[in-house]
Amino acid sequence: MGPQHPSTHGVLYLEVRLSGETVVDLITHIGYLHRGMEKIAENRTYTQFIPYTDRLDYVASMTNNLGYVLAVEKLMKAEIPERAKYIRVIVAELQRIASHLVGITTFTQDLGAFATPLFYGFREREKILDLFDELCGNRLTYDYMRIGGVQFDLPKGAGGKIRGIVKYMGPKIDDLENLFSSNAIFVARTKGVGVLTKEKALNYSVTGPNLRASGVKWDLRKDEPYLCYDRFNFDIPTGSNGDSWDRYKVRIEEMRQSLRIIEQALDGLPEGDPTVKIGRVIKPAPGEVYMRTEAPRGELGFYIVSDGSAVPYRMKIRSPSFSNLAVLSELVKGAKVADVVCVLGSLDIVVGDTDR
Amino acid sequence: MVSILTFIVMIVVGAVVLGFIAVSAMFLIWWERKVAAHIQTRYGPMRVGWHGALQSVADVIKLLLKENITPEGVDKPVWWLAPFFAVVPSVMVFVCIPFGNLFGIDLIPRDLNIGILYIIALTSVCVLGIFMAGWGSNNKYSLLGGMRSAAQIVSYEVPLIISVVTAAMFAGTLSMQKIVEAQKGMWFVFQPNMALAFLIFVISATAEINRTPFDIPEAESELVAGFHTEYSGMKFAMFFLGEYTNLFIVSALAATLFLGGWQGPFLPPVLWFLIKTYGVITVLMWVRWTLPRVRVDQLMGFAWKVLTPIAFANLAVAGWVLLR
């Protein structure tokens, strides 16, 4: 299957050995989208690399931005203004909702619900995109986070707009859930399909909603809080079977939790300037840093080595889709051809994130 | 003299039927896109003609002008003949579809006394075209699609025929025209076990014509486009024509066997027939744009473990009702 195939979510090549309709073996071939991001980083200044991070996981550019600037800030031991922290949380959580909307609805598209849920999901996502458009002028590859804060403060009336999105999104998430959860075919296609056990998930270092669906309560926002996540009340939804159904359910619930976080962040949003002037060329002291954040697809980590110059000496990106995809061949052995696309869709990978 | 006249009449009727099939398929493609668009909260075709009404015409022109590619390594005779096998049986079915009557003339090319049997026999031949396409394409996706289609149609033929037999038993005839007349007082669908037969018929018919949730021979997310992946231009158009003709046929059968056919008050019979048929079609489209697809083993399981036993039980009850 692939590299050009309707359901491989990008240019991904799956070598599938079949016996009739049953999958005997599956080998994943990646690298069709490889752009040498880590090498590019070593030839750019710290600031120049920010727009490249947008292109990693292009369904959740904001959280990629965030992960990178947090890593650089950690390297520089820089403190950022409170307002910037809150704005970043709001934006990251909105991005999580937008990303999960795409994840869930493309998953159902893979199950053959031909484009209808997809269009609903995209209609809802559009609200968030409109807001991001106002924030930074882009609609897919956002370039909003800055080392030391954010590019611009929230525009006038953005608070009301975000509250409007939260109010609008709640019932729409319920709608989306009703559309699938009560659908006998959807349930039959996902329950018990692609079961990922707790042990296997941990061994493959699967992270994010996929790990939580297997019953591991691990979320960096709670377990290793960054920004101001420790100030908010929210739950970490987990599944019990680790099947495709649980992965879908966890994502639905996560969107609701994100709405809760956004509301609290709006309530506590401090006044002030959301940026510190840091200058165009940054020269962090020699050293190394690993900063990880909870991106919509799991743990996104940036490992940066600085030699004291204006460009990173080395950079390694730990992207969630990579390890989430690695477990695919374990999950589909013995399943049917149709289950391959189902499991792949439920893992919610982005090939840009796999091939960096 | 009589034979020449008969011949001319045959030609005219044939031309009318073919014209109707082509126009109907074009209308259905447009209608499907509009129904889909409204279900999916978007516009659909809007540019060519009123609300995109001429879009299908433009599509036909495009398909006619497209290059007819024959991929390397195909089984040539099988590959070339497949589209015809997919379309010709569907066209032949129109011989005994009762459209009603106009100015005292019965609008049915020939009311065979074994009408429904003839139709069932022909619709089963369509699978041959799909299987040939799957086999001849020399493509693994196509082969899987063709194999799936064969398995699927063989399985769903059983409950489909049982439900048709139930209707034939109530009407006491196999002639399509007489089945319609038998529903003069009350449409069959309003009788309890005929309602069940109608449901079984519609479900199995959806599977027979490869529409969602049973579109696994095509299964665009798994098999790219299944049996017609390698076809382009007019040959692809033939499969499309066959698909939409079959959609019309099963809906016309549902209308004829269960919904009283062309009978109805006030409006002319032809109109009643078309309203009922296109009504059923719209429902099938609605289903297509709503439900996900079942898996191949679930599909077979549903046919053999659920639909077939229910259909047989329903048949037995129908027999008991009739003999009572």
ipTM: 0.78
CB B153 within 8 A of CB B147: no
Q: What is the pLDDT of residues B53-63, one digit of tens each?
A: 888 888 888 88
Q: For residue B293, which residues of chain A lie inside 8 Å, CB to CB? A: 111-113, 185, 189, 338
Give, rounded to a whole angstrom, the gap between the first and last alpha carbons of chain A: 21
The mean per-residue pLDDT over the stretch B150-166 comes to 88
CB A135 within 8 A of CB A154: yes
CB A68 within 8 A of CB A303: no
Shortest Cα distance from A98 to chain B (angstroms)?
Answer: 19
Shortest Cα distance from A345 to chain B (angstroms)?
Answer: 11
Closest Cα in chain B to A2: B224
**Structure confidence at residue A57 (pLDDT):** 85
From A115, A186, A341, residue closest to B222, measured CB to CB: A341
From A7, A123, A188, residue closest to B298, measured CB to CB: A188
* Measured CA distances, B294 to A7, A189, B73, B210, B285 (Å): 16, 7, 32, 12, 17
Contact A120 B221 (CB under 8 A): no
DSSP string, B101-136: EETTEE--S---TTHHHHHHHHHHHHHHHHHHHHHH
**Chain B interface mutation, best of A15, A26, A185, A344, highest count of B Cβ atoms under 10 Å:** A185
Which of A1, A7, A341, A21 has the alpha carbon at shortest distance from B300?
A21
| DSSP three-state, residue B170 | helix
**Identity at B210, one-letter amino acid code:** N
CB A57 within 8 A of CB A319: yes
The mean per-residue pLDDT over the stretch A334-353 comes to 87
**Chain B interface mutation, best of A120, A337, A344, highest count of B Cβ atoms under 10 Å:** A337
Q: For residue A120, which residues of chain B lie inside 8 Å, CB to CB? A: 40-41
Which segments of chain B does DSSP mark as H helices, in order?
Answer: 2-39, 55-65, 76-93, 115-136, 140-171, 176-181, 192-208, 220-223, 233-258, 269-288, 296-301, 308-323
The mean per-residue pLDDT over the stretch A228-256 comes to 90
Q: Which of A249-263, B125-139, B143-157 is most confident?
A: A249-263
Shortest Cα distance from A177 to chain B (angstroms)?
Answer: 14
Shortest Cα distance from B294 to chain A (angstroms)?
Answer: 6
Contact with chain A for residue B307, Cβ under 8 A = no
Contacts of A222 (CB under 8 A, 6+ apart): A229, A236
**Structure confidence at residue A194 (pLDDT):** 85
Please name the residues between 139 and 158 in chain B that touch chain A, using a CB distance below 8 Å: 144, 148
**Structure confidence at residue B119 (pLDDT):** 87
Please name the residues between 171 and 230 in chain A that touch chain B, using a CB distance below 8 Å: 183, 185-186, 188-189
Shortest Cα distance from A104 to chain B (angstroms)?
Answer: 13
| DSSP three-state, residue A19 | strand
Mean pLDDT of chain A: 88
When pLDDT is cut at 50, 70 and 90, the band that residue B7 belongs to is confident
Rounded to 10°, the helix B192-208/B233-258 angle is: 180
Contact B292 A185 (CB under 8 A): yes
When pLDDT is cut at 50, 70 and 90, the band that residue B282 belongs to is very high
Q: What is the pLDDT of residues A61-76, one digit of tens each?
A: 899 989 999 999 888 8
Q: What is the pLDDT of residues A131-144, one digit of tens each?
A: 888 888 888 888 88
Interface contacts A/B by beta carbons within 8 Å: 81
CB A64 within 8 A of CB A295: yes
Contact A112 B219 (CB under 8 A): yes
Is the model's pLDDT at B40 over the cut of 80?
yes
Decide the pairing of beta strands A298-306 and A287-295. antiparallel
Contact with chain A for residue B222, Cβ under 8 A = yes
Contact A341 B298 (CB under 8 A): no
CA dihedral A256, A261, A266, A268 (to 10 degrees): 150
How many Å apart are CA A30 and CA A319, to the nearest integer?
14
Is the model's pLDDT at B165 over the cut of 80?
yes
Q: What is the pLDDT of residues A99-116, one digit of tens each?
A: 999 999 888 888 877 778
Rounded to 10°, the helix B76-93/B233-258 angle is: 30
Contact with chain A for residue B42, Cβ under 8 A = yes
Q: What percent of chain B has pLDDT over 70?
A: 99
When pLDDT is cut at 50, 70 and 90, the band that residue B47 belongs to is confident
Shortest Cα distance from A242 to chain B (angstroms)?
Answer: 20
Contact with chain A for residue B40, Cβ under 8 A = yes
Q: What is the pLDDT of residues A199-229, one digit of tens each?
A: 998 999 899 899 999 989 888 888 888 888 8
Q: For residue B289, which residues of chain A lie inside 8 Å, CB to CB? A: 114-116
Instruction: Report whether the peptide linkage leading into residue A3 is cis, meaning its omega lies within 30 degrees of zero.
Output: yes
Q: What is the pLDDT of residues A135-172, one digit of tens each?
A: 888 888 888 888 888 888 888 888 889 999 999 999 99
What pTM value is reported for the model? 0.85
| DSSP three-state, residue B66 | coil
Is the model's pLDDT at B79 over the cut of 90?
no
The mean per-residue pLDDT over the stretch B192-218 comes to 84
Contact B216 A338 (CB under 8 A): yes
How many Å apart are CA B33 and CA A46, to the nearest integer?
49
Is the model's pLDDT at B145 over the cut of 70?
yes
**Structure confidence at residue B1 (pLDDT):** 60
